[in-house]
A and B are shown apart, each in its own frame.
Chain A
Amino acid sequence: MDNIYRTAKITKVEVETSKVKNFILDTKVKAFPGQYVMVWIPGLNEKPFGVVQSLPLTLSIAKVGPTTELIHKLKIGDKITFRGPYGQPFTIISGKILLVGGGYGVVPLYFLASSIPAKKRSKITVIIGARTKKELPFAAKFKRLGCKVLLTTDDGSSGFKGFTTQLAEKLLDKEKFSAVYSCGPMVMMRKIAQISHAKKIFCQVSVESFFKCGGFGICGECCFNGLIVCREGPVFDGKVLL
């Protein structure tokens, strides 16, 4: 049934950053953190978006091309059509966990953090990185969940001046974590996977790829080193990036 398109209405639009908007819909899905839905804009295209929240279904969409530009123009009461959820979710390990998100890659990590019971969220540290202060999404939301939030910016306009990977490495040298989860640019995730591997820490990454059939695992367009990202991923063990 997940393959059947469902049409929902937008009940709320939140402006997250200059590039990112959150769309809250009048529907729910049975999704696990790390999974995604395929959003279809009739007559234009269909693209994957990570689920931020399953009840009500919330999608966080960064404006990166023609399809997302069009989605950004949608208002309360407008329709959103989607199928899914699809993909393999994160395996959540109990204990102290580190989340490392690059830009809007932080989205699936938010669903992960919010799925952990409130009283255990103080054990979650999240590093969010972006080029500049204006592009840091979800920082306030993670704080509200009760997570420890560390920010990095390339230009030093907020938090640590430098990359998420540098801050993550410092933190992992100092403190003991039972798991690391990362989503963002490939170079960032590869570095996080390498650091975690060297320290023998459980690590999962959410790989971004270009989807065509999106979830069916049939067309081969999203394959990466022989892995079918849309179906066997997007969440993989960090080892696949080593």
Chain B
Amino acid sequence: MVDLSVNLAGIKLKNPTILASGILGLDVATLKRIVNGGAGAVTIKSLTSEPRKGHNNPIFIEAAEGAFMNAVGYANKGIDHGIEEFKKWDEKMPLIGSIVAADAKEFAVLAEKIQETPIEALEIVLSCPHTPGYGLLAGQGSPKATFEITKAVRKKTKLPLSVKLSPSIEAIGEVAKAAESAGADIVNMGNTLGPGMRIDINRASPTLAFKIGGMSGPAIKPITIRSVFDLYKAVKIPIIATGGIMTGEDVIEAVMAGATAVGIGTGIYYRGLTVFKKVCREVEDWLKKNKFKDLRSLKGIVHQ
């Protein structure tokens, strides 16, 4: 028997696969299906102070072979509705909260509020590439803003705190260090890549309604692996590798680069809701074949 369990900043996960934020995380009924799909933890879709309609359609397109692009624009029913919904969480599986806000002050308010739900960790997202007033478009990806926001949230919660970063920032190590020094327990590497754009030449129009969007899918995996590799050198806190993780071999690769766990999103499109089970079985098979007794011992081995 190989051991896939991981300790993510004090939270015990039975396996390293986590449903990434923004994927099917609007309600408890749907998240329960991800539990059955074999995830180690699930993340809710990010909540904002007020309900948001998000961008018009198209919000999600196939951008190229193995690449998707989205600009959802944080469509959600707001924190109050989210609290009512996620209070109903009665699964043993860790639920990870996710919030986005315009500034440190608003982040702090949301961080305090969301603790009315049974979340076991909190993720703050400072890296959305396609929503005015949030993430990259609000300058939250800089080391300074990251420090300020993380610190403000840290004061409001004792829960393990994850900061979701952007793969599109060059000096990502500096941003991660800022998060770590402000008290973050985990860095999630990361959000969608870009923004990018596609134009439909038959209509002479950008395809996404918001024109630009963040890229996901297997094509962005090399960026994720390199970013995780960089972060492993920069910080001591655990790293979640998100972006292009589709298979068990992708998980092994991310862990070798330095990840403790992985986020899966677009993988659901390719492999269904049981992608988590499938990935874990593949990790297990690989570990057995290569005579490793657990996943943990592979962490960061390329750095040795």
- Residues of A whose CB lies within 8 Å of any CB of B are 3-5, 7, 38, 40, 42-47, 79, 81, 211-214, 216-221, 223, 225-226, 228
Residues of B within 8 A of A81 (CB): 200, 202-203
Contact B75–A218 (Cβ < 8 Å): no
Assess whether B226 is interfacial by the CB under 8 Å rule: no
Residues of B within 8 A of A47 (CB): 57
Q: How far is the CA of A225 from the CA of B32 in the complex (A)?
A: 10
Contact B61–A3 (Cβ < 8 Å): yes
Main secondary structure of the interface of A (DSSP, over half): loop
Residues of A within 8 A of B83 (CB): none
A-B contact count (CB 8 A): 92
Interface size, B (range) = 20 to 34
Contact A79–B24 (Cβ < 8 Å): no
Q: How far is the CA of A40 from the CA of B200 in the complex (A)?
A: 11
Contact B72–A5 (Cβ < 8 Å): no
Q: Which 9 A-B pairs have the closest CB atoms?
A: A226-B29, A46-B57, A42-B205, A3-B62, A7-B202, A220-B24, A213-B60, A220-B26, A223-B30
Question: Of B29, B56, B200, B268, which contacts A218 at CB under 8 A?
Answer: B268
Contact A43–B205 (Cβ < 8 Å): yes
Q: How far is the CA of A147 from the CA of B57 in the complex (A)?
A: 37
Q: List 10 A-B contacts (CB under 8 A).
A: A3-B62, A43-B209, A79-B202, A212-B72, A212-B75, A213-B59, A216-B269, A217-B269, A228-B24, A228-B30
Assess whether B227 is interfacial by the CB under 8 Å rule: no
Residues of A within 8 A of B32 (CB): 226
Residues of A within 8 A of B24 (CB): 217-220, 223, 228
Residues of A within 8 A of B70 (CB): 213, 218-219
Contact B57–A4 (Cβ < 8 Å): no
Question: Of B33, B45, B56, B200, which contacts A44 at CB under 8 A?
Answer: B56
Query: Interface digits, B25-52 against A, CB 8 Å rule (1 contact, 0 not)?
Result: 1110110110000000000010000000
Residues of A within 8 A of B62 (CB): 3-4
Assess whether B265 is interfacial by the CB under 8 Å rule: yes
Given A79-B202, A79-B203, 9 other A-B residues pairs in contact with their CB atoms under 8 A: A45-B57, A212-B72, A213-B70, A216-B269, A218-B24, A219-B23, A223-B29, A226-B27, A226-B32
Question: Of A40, A43, A212, A228, which contacts B60 at CB under 8 A?
Answer: A212
Contact A219–B60 (Cβ < 8 Å): yes
Question: Of B56, B60, B205, which contacts A216 at CB under 8 A?
Answer: B60
Residues of A within 8 A of B209 (CB): 43-46
Contact B202–A220 (Cβ < 8 Å): no
Residues of A within 8 A of B203 (CB): 7, 40, 42, 79, 81
Residues of B within 8 A of A40 (CB): 57-58, 203, 207
Question: Of A3, A45, A220, which contacts B25 at CB under 8 A?
Answer: A220
Interface residues of B in 56-111 (CB under 8 A from A): 56-62, 68, 70, 72, 75
Residues of B within 8 A of A217 (CB): 24, 268-269
Assess whether B131 is interfacial by the CB under 8 Å rule: no
Query: Interface digits, B179-207 against A, CB 8 Å rule (1 contact, 0 not)?
Result: 00000000000000000000010110101
Contact A218–B57 (Cβ < 8 Å): no
Contact B59–A5 (Cβ < 8 Å): no
Q: How far is the CA of A162 from the CA of B244 in the complex (A)?
A: 54
Residues of B within 8 A of A219 (CB): 22-24, 59-60, 70, 72, 75
Question: Of A42, A216, A221, which contacts B75 at CB under 8 A?
Answer: A221
Assess whether B224 is interfacial by the CB under 8 Å rule: no
Residues of B within 8 A of A221 (CB): 26, 75
Q: How far is the CA of A220 from the CA of B60 in the complex (A)?
A: 12
Q: How far is the CA of A188 from the CA of B25 in the complex (A)?
A: 29
Contact B265–A218 (Cβ < 8 Å): yes
A2 to B, closest residue via Cβ: B62
Question: Of B30, B59, B266, B269, which contacts A212 at CB under 8 A?
Answer: B59
Assess whether B54 is interfacial by the CB under 8 Å rule: yes
Output the least CB separation between A144 and chain B (Å).
34
Output the least CB separation between B217 and chain A (Å).
11
Q: How far is the CA of A40 from the CA of B59 in the complex (A)?
A: 11
Q: How far is the CA of A13 from the CA of B129 in the complex (A)?
A: 41
Output the least CB separation between B68 and chain A (Å).
8
Output the least CB separation between A137 and chain B (Å).
25
Question: Of B25, B33, B268, which contacts A226 at CB under 8 A?
Answer: B33
Contact B30–A220 (Cβ < 8 Å): yes
Q: How far is the CA of A214 from the CA of B208 in the complex (A)?
A: 13
Output the least CB separation between A96 and chain B (Å).
35
Q: A4, A214, A221: which has the most chain B beta carbons within 10 Å? A: A221
Q: How far is the CA of A216 from the CA of B269 in the complex (A)?
A: 6
Q: How far is the CA of A180 from the CA of B138 in the complex (A)?
A: 53
B73 to A, closest residue via Cβ: A212
Contact B26–A223 (Cβ < 8 Å): yes
